[in-house]
Structure 1
Amino acid sequence: MAPAATSSTAGAASDPKSRLLRFTGHRNFRQRLILSLISQRPVRIDSIRPDSSSPGIRDFEANFLRLIEKITNGSHVEISYTGTSILLKPGVIAGGKVVHECSLTRGIGYWLEWIVVLAPFAKKEVALTLRGVTNMDGDLGVDTIRTVTLPHLSLFLPLDSVSTLASSLELRISKRGSAPGGGGEVHFRCPLIKHLSTINFTAPGRIKKIRGIATCTRVSPQIANRLIDSARSILGRYIPDLYLFADVYRGEDSGKSPGFAITLLSTSTTGAIYSAEAASATENPGLPEDLAERAARQLLEEISENGCVDKSHQPMVLLLMAMSPMDVARVTMGRMGANAVMMMRDLKSALGVEFKISTAEQQGLPSKEQESDDDEEDDDGDEEANAKREMLKKLAQPELYTVSCVGVNFGGFKKVG
């Protein structure tokens, strides 16, 4: 649902009511809480599932609020009696050593995806341990966060400190756990920085390699090989530089429930990363071959969208662009998802950052005059042939947009020398 109107006039900033961010609905719940912490403005979210058979916030949303209270100092949360309305008064991002038990109804990525954005600006270096389900459909898996999300974050790290910070930014998977029992454990460590750097990432490049990891817990190790063979049968026809490997955990490190998952990612010549993943369901896990085929086709669909950022990481990159120094940050993206559009709206409400979206210039493509000539020639042919040409043209020339904004130069809460 669209956010309610917010008062964001600079002249009334001293009035607490004018600083209050107001939103409705349960969608984009986490990003709005994170925006409250970054902007240091209280947020109120109303009408959370009012028409549901069990209205109000779910257990995993309440669990996310508890994690925010652990990782910050001075945050105050008020939840209405029915649970359909919450108020967060943000505190300081304290960081430090935190251990948290995640709800088993969502994957660990539900908690980690947005904490990754907060961690570089804490007072103390973040050493976070999360326990729960490591891979679940609908949430980013821990392998995706380790191999895709963290590299996206490193794009915004200052160039003069990348060498020293790269070793400190890590996600270590010590145990894997599948739904519904969980039992997984990951350790996230993030260094402190003073400010982000401005990004200028406008060249998607061409795909040069595909990598993947197949995991399984408390099932036969042969399942991982079946996942790999099925994904390779599809992706091998696209690119020869393909390497998929199995990561099988045994004993206590394999969690409490049987399950399997596959994570795939492709890297372009300019460093753009596209990702896709799939995890087995709890009640009806299905065949490993079908799961791997679904993930492989999702990856190819992400690649066909082109752009420098895949859909699942568009909101995070937009937020980091808004937090960058007061300079023009540019990123080329394909079609933007609903979450990315909502993030831009929320950023305007919380930080006052507006984005400019323009059609990206693609090198090596025919000019508009040539395209019009081709279209006139196509009119002479039959409609079915023209439809095929149009479809092939869209696949070969996906719509690309250059998204730019001027950041607010967010500096966090610790002065780094």
Structure 2
Amino acid sequence: MAADILIYEGCNFFRQRLILATLSGKTVKIKKIRAKDDNPGLRDFEASFIRLLDKVTNGSKIVVSETGTCLLYQPGLLIGGNVDHDCNLKRAIGYYLEALLCLSPFTKEPLHAVLKGITNDQTDPSVDLIKLSMLPVLKRFLGTDEGLELKVSRRGAAPDGGGEVVFTCPCRQKLRPIQLTEPGKVKRIRGIAWATRVSPAIANRIVDSTRSILNKCLPDIYIYTDHHKGSQSGRSPGFGLTLVAETTNGVFLSAESASNPKGSENGVTVPEDLGKNTALLLLQEIYKGGCVDTTGQSMAALFMVLGQQDVSKLLIGQLTPYTIQYLRHIRDFLQVMFKMDVQRKDEEDTQTGGDNLLLTCVGVGYSNISKRIL
């Protein structure tokens, strides 16, 4: 039995290990979790994440040591269905949603998850970014967007949250392989400028400052203003912006920023500065190139491996440290390694600014054993 257990040390890449353990069915043991800290062991948001995994699976065995510095996770069967979860306020809803996106295609029943907490902060991907850039990537592997939806019922800024989102996803027998190697050229930019418990004029100020940068690049720009009032506005004041650039080949590249939370030592964020900085972040993302942005590349790599036993290819702009570690964990849990080729850009090529990386792998033919074949 011990030979079947994968053993890791430390709290880094906690979600990666538990997600891959759930999908592969392998038991994982994580030791020395913050063993040298003054406050050792699992944090509350990690315990909340474990509870969420327990809700979407059936028969999982979870053992935590008395000090919280050791975790044994033996995954059960992914069942999905209706899930209601209060996310810990130390991390945003996006922290939990990223995991659900990876697991939801393989559940027994279509997933209908209601998550409550912080919808937008400065650490985790916001629900807007996940909706605008990560759901289109998931759609490519599912083959359809029928039943795939992410709806913001209430918006909640950091630090007190009060937001609520509803995520629904269909389950599939198998995922499709992809050949995504041509990003195309940017044809339009869309965005959401949101504000809660502050003046509605702030969202308009964000839009004006953002357009002062992006109007120099292309004319097709539309940024929605989303101002919530009363019970729909959460418990904390805040504002922010999410931008997404869509290319002629249906590729979505995104960037976002959020204001400093109430009581922050960094002071109050100026809306005009936030708008300009977010516009520059989007241009930087476009400069990197590739067919997925930095937020979605790790999920895309995972689904390439879990696809049918066929070759999948994906062009990305630049590997993030998070994705690099994800690829290492994929090798541990699923025994798959990627072939990587640098795609050099000619000086005359004006589509992107940097060299790109072409990821190639053969899927393992992962099958959803819970879903009956029609």
| TM-score in terms of structure 1 length | 0.85
For residue 84 of structure 1, report the CA deviation from its aligned partner. 2.0
2:312 is aligned to 329
**Deviations along 1:197-220, whole A, 9 cap, x unmatched?**
001000111111111100011111
Cα distance in 2 for partners of 1:70, 1:395 equals 44
Kindly provide the amino acid, as one letter, of the partner of residue 154 in structure 1: K
CA contact (8 A) 2:288 2:353 kept: no
Which residue among 203, 213, 227 is the counterpart of 1:224? 203
Cα offset for 1:187? Answer: 0.5
1:30 aligns with 2:15: yes
What are the residue-to-residue correspondences of 1:72-151 with 2, within 5 Å?
A: 72-151=57-136
**For residue 168 of structure 1, what is the amino acid of its counterpart?**
G
Q: Is the 8 A contact 2:117 2:163 kept in 1?
A: yes
Partner of 2:178: 199
Residues 195 and 239, structure 2, Cα contact 8 Å, conserved in 1: yes
Specify which of 31, 41, 44 is matched with residue 59 of structure 1.
Answer: 44
1:259 corresponds to 2:232: no
RMSD across aligned C-alpha pairs, in angstroms?
1.6
- Alpha-carbon offset, residue 139 of structure 1: 0.5
The residue type equivalent to 1:248 in the other structure is H
Which residue in the other structure is 1:399 paired with?
Answer: 355
Structure 1 residues 397 and 105 mapped into 2: Cα distance closer, same or farther (>3 Å)?
closer
Corresponding residue for residue 386 of structure 1 = none
- C-alpha distance in structure 2 between counterparts of 1:93 and 1:71, whole Å: 6
The one of 255, 260, 278 aligned to 1:276: 255
Query: Separation in 1 of the partners of 2:256 and 2:166?
Result: 21
Deviations 1:129-186, CA, capped at 9 Å, x for gaps: 000010011101011111111111011113xxx2xxx231001111111112211011
Q: Distance in 1 between matches of 2:34 and 2:351?
A: 39
Instruction: Identify, as 1 or 2, the structure richer in helix.
Output: 1
Which secondary structure does the structure 1 equivalent of 2:286 belong to?
A: helix
Offset at residue 261 of structure 1 (A)? 1.3
User: Could you say what secondary structure the match of 1:312 adopts?
Assistant: coil
Secondary structure at the aligned position of 1:224 is classed as helix
How far apart are the structure 2 equivalents of 1:299 and 1:231? 11
What amino acid is aligned across from residue 416 of structure 1 in structure 2? I
**Residues 67 and 285 of structure 1, relative CA distance in 2, 3 Å threshold:** farther
Q: How does 1:350-389 map to 2 (within 5 A)?
A: 350-360=333-343, 365=346
Question: How many pairs align?
Answer: 369
Tell me if the contact between 2:118 and 2:158 (Cα under 8 Å) persists in the aligned partners.
Answer: yes
Deviation at residue 295 of structure 1 after TM alignment: 1.4
Counterpart of 1:168?
Answer: 147
**Shift of residue 394, structure 1, vs aligned partner:** 10
Letter in 1 for 2:53: I
Residues 246-297 of structure 1: CA distance to partner in whole angstroms, max 9, x if unpaired?
A: 0111111111111111101101111121111111121234111122222111
> What secondary structure, in the 3-state scheme, does the structure 2 residue paired with 1:156 have?
helix
Counterpart for residue 298 of structure 1: 281
User: What residue number does 2:215 align with?
Assistant: 236
Alpha-carbon separation, structure 2, partners of 1:188 and 1:268: 26
Contact 2:255 2:278 in 1 (8 A): yes
Show structure 1 runs of 5+ residues with no match.
1-15, 368-392
Matched position secondary structure for 1:126: strand
Match of 1:49 in 2: 34
The answer to whether the Cα contact below 8 Å between 1:120 and 1:190 also exists between their aligned partners in 2 is yes
Q: Which amino acid aligns with 1:233?
A: S
Tell me the distance in 2 between the aligned counterparts of 1:215 and 1:192: 31
Letter in 1 for 2:186: I
Verify the 8 A CA contact 2:120 2:156 in the aligned structure 1: yes
Structure 2: gaps spanning 5 or more residues = none
Aligned: 1:154 with 2:133? no
2:289–2:352 contact (8 Å) kept in structure 1 = no
Structure-2 separation of matches of 1:297 and 1:411? 41
The answer to whether the 8 A contact 2:185-2:351 is kept is no
Structure 1 residue runs of 4 or more that deviate by more than 6 Å after TM superposition = none
Q: State the secondary structure of the residue aligned to 1:332.
A: strand
**Rg: which structure is higher?**
1
Q: Does the CA contact (< 8 Å) of 1:259 and 1:285 recur in 2?
A: no
User: Aligned letter for 1:174?
Assistant: S
Report the Cα offset of residue 395 of structure 1: 9.4
Residue of structure 1 equivalent to 2:373: 416
Amino acid across the alignment from 1:328: V
Give a deviation string over 1:290-319, Cα, whole Å, max 9, x none: 222221111111110001111111111111
How many percent identity over aligned positions?
Answer: 43
Contact 1:74 1:92 in 2 (8 A): yes
Shift of 1:396: 5.5
Deviations 1:229-256 (A, max 9, x none): 1111111112211111101111111111
TM (normalized to structure 2)? 0.95
